[in-house]
Amino acid sequence: MKTFSFVKSIIFSFVLLSVFIFSCEKNKGYDNNLGIGVGIESISLIESENPEKGLVSDITCDIDTADYTVSLTVPHSAILTGLKFDIKLSEGYSISPASGDEVNFELEESSEESSETPSLQRYKKVFTLTAKDGTAKEYKVYITKGSSNECAISSFKFINDEKNNGKGLVKDITGIIIKSESGEATISLIVPNIADLADLKPTIEISSGATVSPANEEAKTFTSGSEEEYTVTAQDGRTKTYKVTVTKEEGPKLESFKIPADNNKGIRDEVTATFEHEQGSATGKILLNIPYTGTAIDLEGLTPTIEVPAGCSVDLLSGQAVTGDISSARFTLTKTDTGSKRVYTVEAVKGPYISSFKFETTSGGSTNTGISTTVNGVISHANNTIAITIPSTAAKGSSDNTVTLTPTIEFGDTTNTTITPSVTAQQFILGSEFNYKVTSNGIEKTYKVTVTKEAAPQLKSFTISANPTNGIQNNVEAVITDDSNAATGKILLKIPYTGTDINLTGLTPTITFPDGSSGYTVSPVSGTAVSVDISTTGSNTFTVTTTLGSKRVYTVTAVKGPYISKFEFKANANNANGITTDISATSIDHNTGAIAITVPSAVDLSQTLTPTITLGDDTTSTVEPAASAKVFNQSVQYTVKNSTHTDFSKVYIVTVTKEAAPVLSSFLINANSGKGIKTDVAAVITNDSNAATGKILLKIPYTGTDINLTGLTPTIEPNTGGYTVNPASGAAVTGDISTAGSNTVTLTKTDTGSKRVYTVEAVKGPSIKSFKFGNSGNTGITTEISATSINHDTGAITITVPGSVKKGSGGSSNTVTLTPTIDFGDANNTTITPSVTAQQFTLDSEFKYIVKNSTHIDLNKEYKITVTRTPSTEAQITKFEIESGAQDNIIHPSNSNGDKGRIVVPVSSLPTSSTSYTIEKSDYATVTPNEVETFSSYSESKQYTVTAENTSTQKTYEVYIYDSNNVIVPDSLKVANGSTEITPSSKVITENSRVIIITVPSGTSLTDLTLSLDSSSSSSYTLEPTNGQDFSDGKEVKYTLKENNDVKGYYWVKIAVAE
């Protein structure tokens, strides 16, 4: 951009300064000497400018002007790459690398005076100092790292190479280094259990510059589990001792060794071995205990299933048959990664067993009393159990649940087998286990012997078949009780009463035995009629017998069921509660237990009634609760029980029914427009089920006139044919029909006097009284707007909003979003859906609101809101860009007819071809032309017309372009009155709008002023017109800016007089 401002240069002279440089390294105590530098005043490392470089603190360097060297010392762990020096120079000097540049140092020398104490490391970087006369000198900057205090072992290994050949390491072994909080350091290594620990040579890595003793790869003999000390010495003499422990790895162990089931080998079930391992040894033993299961055991050619730990292998593959007897086999387990081994031997033992267990009539000279024939036990070698059942006639032992018997026992191998206890008379507890332990070859097997007695026989069921003639409607299943301590039992027949007297003579029982029983007999025989009363002594016993002669004798008891024969309310006991004659139950159902009785409607069931109850057999039955006064407003349960067998009972449910109260069939309020009732209103009638009351609900819709509930005339039915109603049907009601004193209707049944009293409730329908859009929260509305009409019949509401209310979705949608203010006819009892919040209304379309009575939500009314909008009168161009960045470049026209707006647009080059313009305008307005315009010169202007949404309001803008590279500045402007130059008080150029405002001294005449550019400038800019112009009364003059007679744009100038 070209301007007419002048730049003045200032030349500074440089003065050489010499300063003292102080060098120290704070945290290490390094002390560098003072030096005087020529050109370099000081050079330092500032710790804060070199984070994470390990400097610890700021470091000032020592400058040697004679040797042109700079020296400093840093901690041993400092990082010497990317360092930034703080360098202060004498005036007129420069240096490279410059102050603040990142500098990398390189190791210059690293000689060692001895193998024990390495020399300190020194690093170098050359800096070039240049004086103001251009002469240069190289300064060598040396950094020396201080002595290290590090004395650590970072790695301790046994390398499996020639230095440890023949030591059985198998692979490289790395030690685990642990440093505790107390400072103690340990190194642990685990080697194969076959390793030779004599003269092992470890490979050791330590801190830089440190030494270790014993030395790296020096032969050392270790003892497994014992500590050996290694000492590391740092450069500064500090030491640290590590305790090294080498431990031989425990030999691997088999996880599982199993012999699969093989019936041909006498192995019925899989055999899982146990193991024996001696601590620290490389051997083990596999123990196989093979139980006898009924077939001789063969140990030849067995095929074991072997499970080894992960990373191990065994020399005989799992599932491979062993040659010969497995007892002579050897198995070697190897850990493949370390080479540790364990060799297993096998010990296989065949288990002993009992081949026969029995009770004979005599055994070993002892008599087994009550055993008439040999009883053999059932042996399960797999479960190690022997079960044996003896007759119920076997003599008992010391108590009822014991027997004393002598068994006869045979073994599978009589020569090598012993038994505990010995084979003598033993007392067996019936049903409990008695253990015999057999032993052979050191292997034990325990058999659990269980002796049971055959139980006395039992009946499964005893049933009397249905016999209606004898008063037995359904089969009767007896309750059978078996005495536990005797061969007796009881048969209890409980025969319910079903309405016919029960006869116990000539009954026919059906008798069954338990499932699986065989050879049972019963007397009398099942299916044969008993000729006399089945519960009479001499006819009431039944005997069941087994094939072994065991017996049980049952005694029969028959009980007739209790029942209620009569249920009544007698007048003498219930006269006070409306019963004047005796009333009996209308029905008694002995099958369901239901008793129904109806009482007059005058009876108050919330008060007590006293029943009279007659039982079928007063001598053997009772009733609960007793026949005393009770409230019968709900069903009452009575239970009658047999006096002896109280669980033999019958439940009766007594239901007392009152004569029903009468009910209304209709209640109608005729249309009465004078009272706001436009059409007939039929009431909703509700009859209370538990009281002689009811409700009449009148729901009267609002139709635009306030509802008056006074003096209404109802039509009520029924009102004849045995019924009366008060107030009478067709008579006007005095007062408000829903107010106490005027809101009861009584219906009476004339023959019985039964009544029902109704309460009237009248509900006025909900309504919208007003619909508005307020100016709070509704953008574009400045004054509250009310609906122009509300039609309560159709629910139609119309309201118009101004064009200042914007439509939704950037104007493309025909919607507005507003929050209405709604007043209801009854605000306390009205709800509205949707809620009164911001809503999107589609213009000229219906939006529905439903208002409801808060209590009676079915009493509702739908209103349809139609929102219309007045078209906007806004017509402005708000943004005009050819190239991006144009701001505040629009002057809008006034409302005067013919006034035009002005838009000034900067461009970097003349838009002679089609170019994308950016034009923004008032909402809903249109701009013409709407196609892309081109300019042939900067003197050309274009006209754009904006038409508002209402299509009648229009504004015109003239669009000018100017070369944004050609502008003028205030200092270049000159104002003259004729030949007299005027010095303005101020000159302000607003470049965005290309407006220039000049203020001249008070008293200056504005009618003939000339504006020009400073001719002393070398610029070729000129302004036209060049003659005097009239700037009075705020007139604005358009000037053309030219460069070498080419138009570059316009400026609009106003001149005012200072106040």
List, for residues 777-820, the tens digit of each pLDDT value: 899 899 999 998 899 989 899 999 998 899 886 555 789 999 99
Verify that 652 and 691 share a domain, yes or no. Answer: no
Average pLDDT, stretch 30-53? 72
Total domains, the chain: 9
pLDDT at position 865 is 94
Same domain, residue pair 436 and 532: no
Q: Which residue has the higher pLDDT, 517 or 79?
A: 79
In which residue are the tokens 């299509």 written? 951
Distance of alpha carbon 334 from alpha carbon 276, whole angstroms: 17
Is the pLDDT at 9 greater than 70? The verdict is: no
pLDDT, mean of residues 165-191: 90
Taking 3-state DSSP, the helix, strand and coil percentages for the chain, each rounded to the nearest 5, stand at 5, 45, 50
When the pLDDT of each residue in the chain is averaged and rounded to a whole number, the result is 86
Residues 409-421: tens digit of each pLDDT = 888 765 678 888 9
Is the predicted pLDDT of residue 113 greater than 60, yes or no?
Answer: no
% of the chain beyond a pLDDT of 70: 93
Q: Tell me the mean pLDDT in the region 970-975.
A: 92
Q: Given this model, what pLDDT does residue 191 score? A: 92
Sign, CA torsion 417/419/422/426: negative
pLDDT at 1: 41
The burial class, CB within 10 Å (0-12 / 13-18 / 19+), for 202 is buried
Which 8-state DSSP code applies to residue 911?
A: -
**Confidence at residue 183, expressed as pLDDT on a 0 to 100 scale:** 82
User: Is the same domain home to 839 and 882?
Assistant: no
Is the Cβ–Cβ distance between 448 and 387 less than 8 Å? no
Q: Is residue 1054 part of a domain?
A: no
Shared domain check, 744 and 704: yes
Confidence class of residue 290 from pLDDT cuts 50, 70 and 90?
confident
981 in any annotated domain: no
Is the pLDDT score of 19 beyond 60? no
Whole-Å CA distances, 1058 to 537, 832, 976: 148, 66, 16
In which element (H, E) is residue 697 found? strand 693-700
Contacts of 986 (CB under 8 A, 6+ apart): 997, 998, 999
pLDDT in the model for residue 110: 52
Domain identity same for 759 and 778: no
Contact (Cβ atoms closer than 8 angstroms) between residue 361 and residue 368: yes
* C-alpha angle 763-768-772 in degrees, rounded to nearest 5: 160
The domain that holds 432 is classified in CATH as 2.60.40
Predicted confidence (pLDDT) per residue in 820-852, tens digit: 999 988 878 899 999 999 999 999 999 999 999
Query: In terms of pLDDT, which residue wins out, 752 or 598?
Result: 598
Residue 364 has what pLDDT? 64
Consecutive H or E run containing 571: helix 571-574
Q: Stretch 575-580: mean pLDDT, rounded?
A: 80
Give me the percent of the chain exceeding a pLDDT of 90.
Answer: 40
How does pLDDT run across 467-521, given as a tens digit for each residue? 898 888 899 998 999 888 777 889 899 889 888 888 888 889 999 999 888 888 8
Residues 420 and 394 in one domain: yes
Q: Which residue has the higher pLDDT, 106 or 886?
A: 106
The number of residues making up the chain comes to 1059
Is residue 702 predicted with pLDDT exceeding 50?
yes
| pLDDT computed for residue 1017 by the predictor | 57
691, pLDDT greater than 80: no
Give dist(CA 688, CA 885) in Å, integer: 82
Do residues 885 and 956 share a domain? yes
Helix (H) or strand (E) holding 554: strand 551-560
Residues 77, 129, single domain; the answer is: yes
pLDDT (tens digit per residue) in 303-315: 999 999 999 999 8
Phi and psi angles of residue 971, each rounded to the nearest 5 degrees, phi first? -65, -20
Please say if the pLDDT value at position 302 is more than 80.
yes
Q: Is residue 138 part of a domain?
A: yes
Same domain? 687 vs 726: yes
Is residue 1025 situated within a structural domain? no
Q: How far is CA 469 from the centre of its chain?
A: 72
| Same domain, yes or no: 541 and 600 | no
Assess whether pLDDT exceeds 80 at residue 258.
yes
For residues 47 and 91, state if they share a domain. yes
DSSP, collapsed to helix, strand or coil, labels residue 758 as strand
Give the model's confidence band at 393: pLDDT under 50 very low, under 70 low, under 90 confident, else very high.
Answer: low
Evaluate whether residue 28 is within a structural domain.
no
**Residue 209 falls within a domain, yes or no?**
yes
Residue 741: what pLDDT?
81
* End-of-domain residue from the set 390, 425, 453: 453
**Tokens, residue 497:** 């009463």
Asked whether the beta carbons of 780 and 718 are under 8 A apart, the reply is no
The answer to the question of residue 865 being in a domain is: yes
pLDDT score of 945: 93
For residue 985, the model assigns a pLDDT of 92
Distance of CA 140 to the CA centre of its chain: 67
Residue that terminates a domain, selected from 810, 835, 869: 869
Last residue of a domain, one of 316, 350, 384: 350
Residues 6+ apart with CB under 8 A from 487: 456, 550, 551, 552, 553
CATH of the domain at 698: 2.60.40.2340
My answer on whether 284 and 359 are in the same domain is no
Predicted confidence (pLDDT) at residue 549 exceeds the cutoff of 80: no
Q: Which two tokens stand for residue 893?
A: 């026209």
pLDDT (average), residues 197-223: 92
pLDDT in tens, 616-673: 876 788 888 988 889 988 999 999 998 888 888 899 999 998 877 889 999 999 988 8
Q: Specify if 13 maps to a domain.
A: no
List the domain range (segments joined by +) for residue 628: 564-658
